[in-house]
Every structure is written in C-alpha cells, then in structure tokens.
Structure 1
C-alpha cells in the first residue's frame, strides 16, 4: 500500500491496526500524506511547514522495534500546531518575531506523542500567538475552510482542523483557551476535544499553574480523537498541574456508557446565537431521546463569564507577552496588543473579583452535574464566516465589544475546567458544518467521549470527511 492515497480516507484507529499488524508501514503513511498534501493543501494552507525528513528518521527508529511494541500510535503521523515546539523544526507561533525560529528541544507534549509512536511530519497553521477565532498570520497567511474556501476555518487550531477535513492528517494536536479546539472543529466538520486541565502535560510557559489554556486532540471521529488523547496523556514533573495517566480514553469512548439525563441550552444564558445554528444544535441534542435519555432545557448560572474571562485572559496575555510588546510592538497584530495592554491595566481588585467569580461558577457547574450527566449547547454561535473578516462583529442583532466576545459559549466552559467536545451535528442550508458542544463534569473526559460517540452513531455524520477543498463558483 506504499503511497496509496486511499489510506488517508481511513479512520486513524484502522490505520493504527494496520501498522500494528505490519500490513502498512509508517513510510507508507508518510508517502500517502505527501501525495495528499501536494494535491490539496495549496488550496487551503493548513500545513505550511513540513518536516518529512525528520519524520522518516523517526519512522526508521520505530521500525527497529518489534510489531506491537511501537506505542499506542504505532507509527501514525501527527501534525503539531505551530504554537508548540518541535526540535529542529521551524516554529513561528504565527508571529513575524519568530518567523525563522528553530527550537533545539521539543515541548513535553511532542516528546510524549513520539514516545507513543507518533511521527511528526508537519506544523499546522495558527493565528499569531493563538489569539483569535480566525486562522491567519503575517508569516504564512490565512488558512481557508475546505467546505467553502472563501470562509474562515476559525481558530486557533484552524490548520489542524482543515488538515483533518481534507485528509492531510488522520489526527491532529491543537490547543484551547477560548475555544481553539472546539471552534475550528465546528467550522470544519471534525471533532475537537478540550480535555480537563492537567490531562495533557506540556511546557508550562510563563504561568506555570495555568488552568485556562490546555492542549488536546482532534480527529475526524470521536474514536480517532480518543485514540490521540490516549497518546497525549500522562504526568510530568516539569508540568506541575499534570495528571497521572488514568483509564484508556478510546476504551471509554467505546464503553457503551449512555447518559440518563442531559441538559440543552441554545445560549447558556450569556450570548446571542444565530437562529439556524441554535435550531440545528437543538435538533441534534433531542436525538439523545432515541436512546431513552431525558433531554431538558437548562443551564448553570454563567452570567459572570464575560468579565471573568476578559480579566483572566488579559492577565495571561500580559504575563506571557508583555516583554515582547516592549520590544516588538510594531510586529504584533492590533488584537494582541490590545489584549496585552488590557491585561496590564487590570488591578488586584479586578483579579480578586475574577478569581472569586470563577470559583463560584465552578461550584455551580458541579452542582448542575449532580442533576445532569452532560450539558449540550452550540460549539460556536455562528457557522463559518468570510475569511477576510478578522472576527465576528455582530450576531442576531447584537454588536460585540471586542474580538473574543463572540466566543463566550466556549470560554464560559473553559472557566469551569470542564472537558468539552465539539461534535459535527449538521449543516446550514448553504452547506456549512455546525458543531454541538458536549460538556461534562470536571475530569469526566471519558464520559464526554462516550456520550459523544453514542450521539455520533445516531447522527451518522462521521463519514462526511475528508473532502477536497470546494471553491465557490
């Protein structure tokens, strides 16, 4: 099957099975990906940096190990988001400040994936420093949505989502602070999971006890996403919030667990939502009833989410990038400059208020999950919008005050530390994908995956990708 592009249409878990049996080799997978990237990536710009020579070196090392002893991924190629360091590979963070930067060491996460048999072959595109829900930057340009290449792929893991949707990746690594795994998954018709904080160890950066930003998996199905999560998890002394490896998440996804009672909310009580998106998500959520699940409309009190997130995000940006702002203001996009300066302007009283309100939301979320097994809502409040618009400025008659407020339905969940997954659940009348956000109690990642897979089987949308990029006439 050397160079067989049809491999790229297969589920990741099936390819791993072939790798474990020796039916295909990691080299076969790399050849198939090279051919597919050549055929389609020029139209979407998902994987601007390739490192196939490095990937083949890793494949040779794996091939020296016996079959069955090559890790959970067994030689499956994986692209890494361009916010995450890979030793010897250009890593720009989407910024001209780091346009030619080549790190000497890899992030903990990359080391973990490679130890589990993942073969790194590409970096996926991201907005500058991962800021914003639209994947464009001054180094590589914009990543385009393959369902309609005039539209945004969302962000900040837009390159990862588009690679999955076009068949230039089987699984992909992303990250999420305000929805950066969930938003592009929703826009591109794939699955993105924001795991519980600490589930995936990574380099801490400037804020070592971070709970807002996490790294996580994406796939074309729930099972593929769970497969990559298994290869990403584990404790590291270098990451003080990292958790020990627990149950197998692919096994959890396949466990057959079903929720008894779920809640649906179109807006979590905090944001406008496009009526068509709300209707598609409500219809999808209601299909849980076909399994005998009670579906009710309800949500916890998240009314303080806007102020809390703005303060905590701003402080995080200031902590990470204030030094760069002093030296390189002229090289930073205006939204990043605004976010850093906003963070620097907050007082201790602002931070105390935000921390107290966040703690209250966490308590309310846990109380809510005493009554419901899962919370369902739209993953994004709109479907994909024109790529030339930097962010969503208006929805359902409401004008947003800044470039991240339109992401509230995702960042409200971020504040609670709950795991959350975007599952493809339907299409708008003009063919744009819509994702349903499935949320669980903190650290209930396995149940989120199991519930998502149960609904995925009913919705029967898991075979809609990969697609060739579609340019509107």
Structure 2
C-alpha cells in the first residue's frame, strides 16, 4: 500500500510499525502538504519543523531498537492551542498569552504523546475557544479547506481544517457548545463529543464543571475510535472520569443499523431555526438509515430548558475563569467574549441552582427518551459554512440571530444532556459545502455510538 497524507491514520500508523515507511518520511509528506495548504488556510500555528524532525528521528530509533511502541507511533500531530504541551507555545488564541510556553502537558496531551505521536505544532482556535468561528488577534483567521472564503467553524476549527486538508492524520479538540462537532460538519470530517467523564481532563480550575469535554477528530469513524481509545480511561487526577478502559473503544467497529429505532428531527419540532438546505439534507439522512434496516420516526425529546441552562452555566463558567483577567485587561478580549463574561457577573446562586436543576431534568428526560429510541439524529450546525469575514451568522432563513450563540443551538442543547454526540459527514449544499448530521446516543454508550456511526458512514459514504 502506498501511503499518502490522505491515507487513513490506521494505515499510516500500521505502515510505520511495519517499517514500510519511516516516521521521517511520513513527517516529510505532511510538511510538504502543510507548506502548500497552510499559508492560505492558517490551520496549524506554532509550527516547529526542527523539533518535529527530532521527534520523527526518535520514533524511528525506537522502532529500530525493538522497543514496544504506542498505537499512534510516528504519526505527525498538532495539538489544539488551548491544550498545554510542555515546552511548546500555547496561546489560547489570546493576546494575553501570545508568548506563553506551557510548563506541563495537559492530561489529554500526555496520553496522546505517550501513544507515540510526533508533535509538529498547534492548531488554531478562537480566543479562549469561545465561539464557533476560528479567528484571533495572535494568529488570525482559519479558513475552510473546501472553500477558503468560508468559515472552518470552531473552536476546534484549526484541527478540523488541518485534518480535512491532509496536514495531519488525526486531531484533538474540546467541546462546550459544539466545538468538536461544528467544525467537523463545516470541514467534512468526523468529530465526537464523548459522554461526560469519558475523556478525563487535567489540570482544570474546576474539576466539577461539566459543560466542556475533550475528544477526538478524524477523517473517518474508525480512525476516530483509535484516537478515543488513547484518550479515554480513568485517571486519579480526574474524579469524574468513567472507569471503562480506553482499549474498549478501539477499532474494528462492527455495528449495524438493522432494527435500530432512530428518532429523526431536522429542527427539534421547531425549537431551533435551521437553514432550509441544511434541514433538507438532514431529513434525507432518514433514507440512509431506513435503507440499512433502521426504523425511522419523526420524534424528538423536549429540551425547552436547554437554552437557559447552557447560557447560564456558560456565563457562570466564563466569569469564574476569565472575570479577573477581563477586569485587569478589558481591551484584550473580543467584544462577544467580554459580553459573555460580564453576563456572569449578575448571576445569583439561585440562577446557578436553577440551571443545575434543569440540567438534571434534561438528563432524566433523555434517559426516558432513549427507553423507546436507540438514537436521536438532528443537525450538527443550523447553517452551512458561512462567509469567513463574518463573526457569526446574522440571520437564518431571514430570522435575525441576536447573539453569537444563537446559531449553535443544535449542538449546545445536546451539551447539557451529557449524552455522547458525533458529527458524521452527510451531503453537500448546492455550493458544494459540507454538511454533517449529529447522531446522539444515551450517556455512557460511546462504543455503541461509534459502531452506529461507522455503519452509517458505510452506507452514506460507500468506498
């Protein structure tokens, strides 16, 4: 098999282990692609070719010595620029941290590095990962690899763009309101928001804050499962981590859609405004499920409290984490983020308690919903990739969007349920822009979700 940058990550890693291609040669292939695509797309930042070549050489030497190597040995990797990588520049997309060098690995980085990757740099993010459009004043704008005049999404926009354009074979990310799912949909790759506790994170300012999770991205579901198998599993530093070992999620995936009870809702019963073309594409996914033997019905859970729950917890979290920084440096934050932080200042204990009570009710309602349905299918993003010179879509179907969060409801209403959700590519707009569908499963059933997603991928993208 001839390995290219478009080859599956599993094939690339296998070829390195079998010594059919060296880590140095694989790195060179990716650096060549980066040199061609990154100047226009701006997906990878803080690129350090010298250190990358040193890492590739060390990977080859380890293989030559007969050492036992990890599942990702020799694969070039660029970590999301909100994840600390010891000794590497980590800016969080903020001018306040433009020259910051991390002194320790985040847990997700520690695990991926232990699996043998060759670190090449970081992937671009919005400022402090706030918003689903990737731009900041440190590195600038990341563009969509399918149409560079469009957004790559966010906050893991650099990761999704780098993946889709062949600059990296796998990518990490994080997701609060859709930051793994939205850019995956916009760029035509796969992004998973795992169940709460599936991918433990450390260090955190608040280990009990449970809106944001880390997770994997890949160009196909099998590769994503491989990366999840490295990221997942308990750790004593993360008290809410689920106990299943990471190996439980490794490929191969052998799921089937036959007989599954699929609830399909392009707009959650009118609760979210969805671009007409996106809604049509999502609705058409029902035929793919039904054609593979699933029983598809028009159904959805009632998630009316999800909007207030997410916005309250997000504002509370942002104020707690960034409030003092904003007070000290008010001109160093983009206005939309500053407004979101300030929204947390007026919250009371009763407001936060209400949000957690609502979140509990939402979780219980999803549990009950999944007693009569196996899956929920809905849009990932309510719009196709929008023009890159906009901060966020100002309207959907002519209906104005009041804030930079409104157009992300399809993702963030799922966030506060705690359920795992995956974005799988499915179709394109008339302009050729990628559109993904969001498949949601019960909390804790991440392996089942991966198997279903792989089966859906096989029928919707054969070959």
Q: TM-score, normalised by structure 1?
A: 0.94
| Secondary structure in 2 matching 1:251 | coil
The question of 1:267 aligning with 2:267 is answered yes
Alignment match, 2:179:
180
Query: Which aligned runs of 4 or more in structure 1 are off by greater than 4 angstroms?
Result: 65-68, 255-259
Structure 1 194/98 Cα, relative in aligned 2: closer, same or farther at 3 Å? same
Alignment match, 1:333:
334
- Unaligned residue ranges in structure 1 (runs of 5+): 464-473
- Unaligned residue ranges in structure 2 (runs of 5+): none
| Secondary structure in 2 matching 1:344 | coil
Alignment match, 2:350:
349
CA-to-partner distance for each residue in 1:87-121, whole Å, 9 max, x for gaps?
Answer: 11111000000001111111111111111112221
* Partner Cα distance (1:362, 1:120) in 2: 38
Of structures 1 and 2, the one scoring higher in RCO (CA 8 A, sep 6+) is 1
CA-to-partner distance for each residue in 1:210-243, whole Å, 9 max, x for gaps?
Answer: 2110111111111111111111112222222222
Alignment match, 1:471:
none
CA-to-partner distance for each residue in 1:157-214, whole Å, 9 max, x for gaps?
Answer: 0000100111001111111000000101111111111111221122242221121101
CA RMSD of aligned residues (A): 1.7
* Partner Cα distance (2:259, 2:163) in 1: 28
Q: Are 2:278 and 2:383, in contact at CA under 8 Å, matched by a contact in 1?
A: yes
Structure 1 259/128 Cα, relative in aligned 2: closer, same or farther at 3 Å? farther
* Partner Cα distance (1:19, 1:68) in 2: 13
| Secondary structure in 2 matching 1:79 | strand
CA-to-partner distance for each residue in 1:404-429, whole Å, 9 max, x for gaps?
Answer: 12111100110011111101000001
Q: How does 1:53-452 map to 2 (within 5 A)?
A: 53-62=50-59, 63-65=61-63, 69-244=68-243, 245-251=245-251, 253-256=253-256, 260-269=260-269, 270-452=271-453
CA-to-partner distance for each residue in 1:326-367, whole Å, 9 max, x for gaps?
Answer: 211111101111111101211111111111111111000011
| Secondary structure in 2 matching 1:179 | coil
Structure 1 259/422 Cα, relative in aligned 2: closer, same or farther at 3 Å? farther
Q: Are 1:113 and 1:232, in contact at CA under 8 Å, matched by a contact in 2?
A: yes
* Partner Cα distance (2:258, 2:128) in 1: 38
| Secondary structure in 2 matching 1:263 | strand
| Secondary structure in 2 matching 1:10 | coil
* Partner Cα distance (1:317, 1:325) in 2: 10
Structure 1 141/353 Cα, relative in aligned 2: closer, same or farther at 3 Å? same
* Partner Cα distance (1:9, 1:252) in 2: 20
The question of 1:43 aligning with 2:44 is answered no
C-alpha deviation, 1:16, in angstroms: 1.3
Structure 1 263/154 Cα, relative in aligned 2: closer, same or farther at 3 Å? same
Q: Are 1:72 and 1:116, in contact at CA under 8 Å, matched by a contact in 2?
A: yes
Moved more, 389-398 or 35-44: 389-398
Q: TM-score, normalised by structure 2?
A: 0.95
